[in-house]
Structure 1
Amino acid sequence: MQMKRIIHIGLWILLGSLPACKKEFTEPVMSRVQFTFDWGKLPPEAQIGENMGIRFYAEDGQVYDMDGDTTSFNGSLPVGTYQVLLRNKPTPSIGFRGEERFETAEAYVSPVSRSAGLVGQPDWLFSAALARCEVTEKKVTDLSVTPKPMVHRITFNVKITDHREIEAVAGCLLNVASALNLSTGQPIPSSAGETDIPIDRSGEVFSGAVLVFTVLKQKEGSPDIPDKNLKLDISFADGTEKTVELDISDQLADLGEETGNGAEVDVVITPEGVRLEVRIIEWVEGKGPEIPIKNN
């Protein structure tokens, strides 16, 4: 027993005599960052939300999530180089994934019905991506940022001339992108789906509108999706039905470009045939130009 006690005490003395190990911690050098949001051209129906979410991606892999209002952002970050993603909030119908990296961040809408390939409509989404943002010591990083629309509004007006009484018209837009990359603003080709067009009647005209990220061309989407991407199902009072299928992907090719942010689609259906007119609408302050594209 005595020997055991002596060994124990000797070990305690040896351990107690070791030098203390001190961990050094250096506080990062912080600097101010402020953004002013320039909304530029917006249509009257656009909803920009209540605030802006800003995600800073540092070169060392750290990610900093911050919020600002829809006018500006003010905050402090460690000095360094960042990539930045900004988007309006809230957008309850839009999900986000891959946000751990700047290059992989995506916005998407969930399927309404997986079996039918139906997807919901996105909210108004505005986003901006800064590939390089320098935060320097003893200097405020002050930038003006223009959030760009990531969705586009397409309105449809359908007029039908027929001897039969029309009971209802249902519409569907096919080959729409259900996801896009936030750093590039480009749609994800493999995300092609379809969305219903809610249509109401006003006199002789059946009208509806949808919000979409964009409409994919056939070569961008799945080869299984048919070329014709606008489907109209007409129900007559006598119980008969008629389906009209049209391809408007070429006419909508300018959606998302600087001069094309929305579209109006007019369809006139007669016993002799179908007449289609698509107008790409530019969002400007006041009345903007309309670019008619006809397909007879």
Structure 2
Amino acid sequence: MDQGAEGRCWHCSRRYEDCEETARWLLDRIQCPPDIAIICGSGLGLLAETLSSPKIFNYSQIPHFPESTVVGHSGQLVFGALQDKSCVCMKGRFHVYEGYPLWKVTFPIRVFKLLGVKVLMVTNAAGSLCETYRPGDLMIIRDHINMPGLAALNPLRGPNDDRFGPRFPSLWDTYDRDLRITALEIAQKLGQANLTHEGVYCMVGGPNFESVAEAKFLQKLGADAVGMSTAPEVVVAKHCGMRVFGLSLITNRVAQAYETQESVNHSSVLEVGKQRSQLLQMLITDLVRSIQFKVENQEPAA
């Protein structure tokens, strides 16, 4: 074996050991391992404050954990109970545009796998490519287009570690159908069916917002909303055998005409997040309540 190959294999093994060390560090400090992990997108971190008996860790405290550098991302891991379910919330995620490699962006997901997490709920702020979506609407993610992944920027790139999952995972059923149906029913019960949609999320690299030509291109591909996150975490969660639920808060319309006067900035994204935070909390809370786990093998039941 040449030195390059040996180095790559050592690095892959080292990542597993790092995840294992982080998981052990957390397990030594929490009372109950989480069954559900929730990633809170831009401006959506208030959900973590609803957990009862919270145990909070700054990312800087946690061994091998990256640190969030984005405004609106607090950079905390919060463990606690939500609707009598053991949960962990990420108040802030990591992005490629911050300079992190994808294996580092998705490091928390693999740690969650080792903690025993079975369901990943991921939220994000996204721009609308669909003419019928308006700022403040919710989009339950039915599928995604991973633009970086199509260009070989994939978090599963490199030697596969079978301890996490298979070499070639299928993504055709990534976003759990039962959770999507339940979420739509909850939105209807909350009287928000008119602003809740189901659609396709497209991830781009960022940090710039899309050009008009790019927006038109993405719409032709079949994307309903676009953002700068989510796909890497979801790919790794699927690789790790987790059920996945995704929810986008539509914060702006993506300009698709040069004559438009509409403009978007990060501050306006955060403002829409604040306005819809209560609705998001109610929907996610009710969805968590609906999840049942089989006692015998601790796998989630449909």
**TM class by smaller structure:** under 0.3
* Superposition TM-score, scaled by structure 1 size: 0.24
Max Rg structure: 1
Decide which structure has greater strand share.
1
* Superposition TM-score, scaled by structure 2 size: 0.24
Higher relative contact order (CA 8 A, sep 6+): 2
Decide which structure has greater helix share.
2
